[in-house]
Structure 1
Amino acid sequence: MDTTAPVPGAAPTDAGSPAPVRRHRARWAVPAAAVVAVGAAFTAPPLLATADTAGLPDVTAQELVTRVLEAEPQALSGTVVHTARLGLPDLSLAEVGGADPIGLLGGSSTLRVWTDGEQRSRVSLLGQASEYSVVADGPEAWTYSSADDEVVHYALADADRARLDALAAQHAASPDVAGDLPTPEELGRAALARAEQHATVGVDAATTVAGRDAYQVVVTPRGADTLVGRVVVAVDTATWTPLRVQVWSSDDAATPALEVGFTDVTFAAPSDQVLSFSPPPGADVREVLVPLPDAPPAAPADAADAQALAEALEDPTAEPPLPEGVTVTGDGWDAVVQVAGVDVAGLLAADPAAVAGLAVPDKTFGSAGAQELYEQFVPRDGEGPLPDLDQQALYDQLTTPVEGGRLLESTLLSVLVLDDGRVLAGAVPAQTLLDLAG
């Protein structure tokens, strides 16, 4: 891919880039259905099985998972095709204008991806005559919709930026500055990070993705009630970077319900022009201050307690305490999350008070990606971005009336919204939610 081509919103070539604060993996959020499919209890004891590797060195599932998670993020640029066959209604009637992340819920979409493998990245969702881009540079990010000619700039307040700089040497986690767009690399890493229980993991025959040799990790849920049949992650044999993620519904073993994969990829640092951002002339610019999370708890004086705390903070499978009003029924791929006291009418009307009062755990569907996507489309303290669409019309189109509420059914996810303020969601059949709701 020619990364020197002009990019909307890219800074002039002589523009300097901000000094890096610290190295960390680039992060992209994923549509909620994909999060459920590959994030919720994505775990299994790795099987020591191998498959035909077409002349490549034999590798076990355990080795593959370990190498992907331990590999350094790579600088790369490429084209990604995102295809969703979720069985949802035709969203074209929802009057979603131009390139919009809502379009990722159905059909095929094309994205272009650039990252330096550290803290700078750009992901652009391409439409027929428009684009929606997310540009990240450490604790600062921009979203740009060419259809609306609007830029949203996410940044820390001066005091928080100074505190972040002071914490940088301690490797403190940076805040999520904006909801982003899905890529195979981040989606694949998120999936394999939880490959320890509730599924079986094996290695399928080697394949080729974007012209590159790739191993394939296959995860098959053991849950009896889940909608997810299997998940396959294709891993580059040279860099251990996930190149493609495919998720099959338990109702269709022939065609993936969700597929995100590179069609071309180059492992080289993109130009500074691509990774820098300047608002296009005449675009509306909206500033959003992102609060810096509180500092992590101080280490206990007792060495044993300090070690236990460190292990808990580093455990990717550790779940945070559930907030009031949130319950989880079942476990693994059959788990159902229930949230009480949701003001659905207020959310559809974009009422900030409805969002402020909503208790949602950081890992509602087993991944922070769901929360990040949620924050992309609802206000945060009255300041977050809102999609340029009729939320009520979209809600009515995606759901069907049932006794006591409305129901969304897809090939990988079911959501039940009840008139009494309860919302139930899981990668399970709709009837499971209706039975639990009583």
Structure 2
Amino acid sequence: MVTEPLPSSPSEPARDTPRGPSRRARWAVPVVVAAVVGGAFAAPALIASADSDLPELTPAELLARVAEADPVPLSGTVVHTARLGLPDLPLEELQGASPLDLLGGSSTVRLWSDGEDRSRAALLGDLSEFSVVRDGAEAWTYSSRDDEVVHYTVAPEDLAAYEQLDEAARSGTAPDVAGDLPTPAEAADALVAYAGLSTDVTVGSATEVAGRDAYQLGLVPRTDGTLVERVLVAVDAETSTPLRVQVWSTQDAQTPALEIGFTDVSFATPDDAVFDFAAPAGATTSEVEVPLPDPADHPSSGPEALTAAPEGVSVSGTGWETVVSVEGVDVAGLLAGDPASVAALPGAERSLGSAGAQDLYDELVGEDGTAPGLPEIDAAAIYEQLTEEVPEGRLLSSALLSVLVTDDGRVLVGAVPPEVLRDLA
């Protein structure tokens, strides 16, 4: 069955992030898209509109193209617009650009990538910017508001191991795994087959984003039990680069609740000078060494152990109606930046299960709960502003996501109406 193609938003803002250094890394793209919108793809094999000059593709073929595409250099402007229905945050003290800007309103990001291991992103404010620059094994963040630079380097004793991993990624060498890895086409087919449980997917009418011809992958939940009404992902027809993501809420079917994408883009290689970072005169600089995890700290586990939810984490519902519940969360400690509250989270041993990871966390988050390069904010005040008191605890309601924090230390999260979480609590 072929359904009608989904309509485009009348507004133009679009989306992308620079691609990684290898084809194998690109395999994750369809998975990331699925995770962002709730998990599943659907079976209908729809094609580009008849009046388009683009070749006809099924959803699986389009996803496989994205996964198989070679990395390419790019530069451009991305506009991120969030209409999530969140209350205004008490951030008057944040006069400059900050990642917190992405919670609401429109933000502009300039992106550059050489298609390999050098990239730069600048989140622009009215009179300021927050920048992230990566050059191989080094990275920098810079906040013009605080005039603060953080310089990240791989720990010297791990540099040789990092270079080996980097070379393996560039050459497309597969990691050692039990069994055979699926090809991108096989992975895309599996996603599409699984999707039939909860979602309809189309490759609808061709569109134009930032002056580029693009396919549109559309996802529509087959349930009214979610806050997500539909999703459109625009994919560049020539390079298979995702150019824009738009997510509509059931609360407003006309205007996207979340829209991220390019307003202009070029796939020419940026000038090398773009990636050269020098700390501005007078800026405060913090040095952070990043250790690589020791494989001995993470012995090989079977597929069941890798996919099983950590103790204290439970999942109810399926597809778009999935709700994740986490027990034993010290919300007050997290808001205060207490490292012990992070270490006590269910599953924390998976990310903080080595001495190196714990050392890095302790270095990034000091005893006062602050991190270099990020604005100092009153997290408790933001939490109070974003949530409302309900009999079960405190509730965050947005156009696409609901979060319930109960008085007994549980956190329930889902792209479902708030009353669903309250009933489960």
TM-score by length of 1: 0.75
- For 2:387 and 2:113, the matched residues in 1 are separated by 37
Name the structure 2 match of 1:234: 234
* Secondary structure of 2:85 counterpart: coil
Deviation of 1:419 after TM superposition, in Å, equals 2.0
The amino acid across from 1:228 in the alignment is V
RCO (CA 8 Å, sep 6+): is it higher in 1 or 2? 1
CA gap of 1:205–1:213, structure 2 versus 1, over 3 A, is same
- For 1:121 and 1:129, the matched residues in 2 are separated by 23
2:362 pairs with one of 375, 381, 388:
381
The question of 1:431 aligning with 2:419 is answered yes
1:68 pairs with one of 51, 66, 69:
66
The question of 1:51 aligning with 2:39 is answered no
Name the structure 1 match of 2:120: 122
The amino acid across from 1:262 in the alignment is F
Name the structure 2 match of 1:183: none
**Structure 2 spans left out of the alignment, 5+ residues:** 1-19, 27-31, 172-187, 353-359, 366-370
Deviation of 1:48 after TM superposition, in Å, equals 3.8
Name the structure 2 match of 1:331: 318
- For 2:308 and 2:330, the matched residues in 1 are separated by 22
2:107 pairs with one of 109, 123, 130:
109
- For 1:251 and 1:192, the matched residues in 2 are separated by 32
Identity over aligned pairs, percent = 57
Report matched runs for 1:141-220 at 5 Å.
141-171=139-169, 196-197=194-195, 198-220=198-220
Instruction: Assess if the C-alpha contact under 8 Å between 2:96 and 2:128 holds in 1.
Output: yes
Name the structure 1 match of 2:380: 392
Deviation of 1:94 after TM superposition, in Å, equals 5.4
* Secondary structure of 1:381 counterpart: helix
The amino acid across from 1:216 in the alignment is Q
The question of 1:408 aligning with 2:389 is answered no
Instruction: Assess if the C-alpha contact under 8 Å between 2:117 and 2:134 holds in 1.
Output: yes
Q: Bigger shift: 427-436 or 196-205?
A: 196-205
* Secondary structure of 1:81 counterpart: strand
- For 2:95 and 2:234, the matched residues in 1 are separated by 33
- For 1:139 and 1:192, the matched residues in 2 are separated by 35
Instruction: Assess if the C-alpha contact under 8 Å between 1:94 and 1:393 holds in 2.
Output: no
Count of aligned pairs between the two proteins = 367
Residues 171-216 of structure 1 deviation map (CA, whole Å, 9 limit, x = unaligned): 499xxxxxxxxxxxxxxxxx99965423121112111111111111
The amino acid across from 1:343 in the alignment is D
Tell me how large the CA RMSD over aligned residues is.
3.4
Name the structure 2 match of 1:340: 327
Deviation of 1:405 after TM superposition, in Å, equals 1.4
Instruction: Assess if the C-alpha contact under 8 Å between 2:150 and 2:287 holds in 1.
Output: yes
Residues 218-250 of structure 1 deviation map (CA, whole Å, 9 limit, x = unaligned): 011234411111110111111111111100112
* Secondary structure of 2:320 counterpart: helix
Instruction: Assess if the C-alpha contact under 8 Å between 2:47 and 2:204 holds in 1.
Output: no
Deviation of 1:321 after TM superposition, in Å, equals 2.7
- For 1:266 and 1:435, the matched residues in 2 are separated by 49
Q: Bigger shift: 124-133 or 283-292?
A: 283-292
- For 1:380 and 1:35, the matched residues in 2 are separated by 28
The amino acid across from 1:388 in the alignment is E
* Secondary structure of 2:226 counterpart: coil
Instruction: Assess if the C-alpha contact under 8 Å between 1:39 and 1:194 holds in 2.
Output: no
Instruction: Assess if the C-alpha contact under 8 Å between 1:229 and 1:253 holds in 2.
Output: yes
Deviation of 1:266 after TM superposition, in Å, equals 0.6
TM-score by length of 2: 0.77
* Secondary structure of 1:350 counterpart: coil
CA gap of 1:299–1:270, structure 2 versus 1, over 3 A, is same
* Secondary structure of 1:278 counterpart: coil
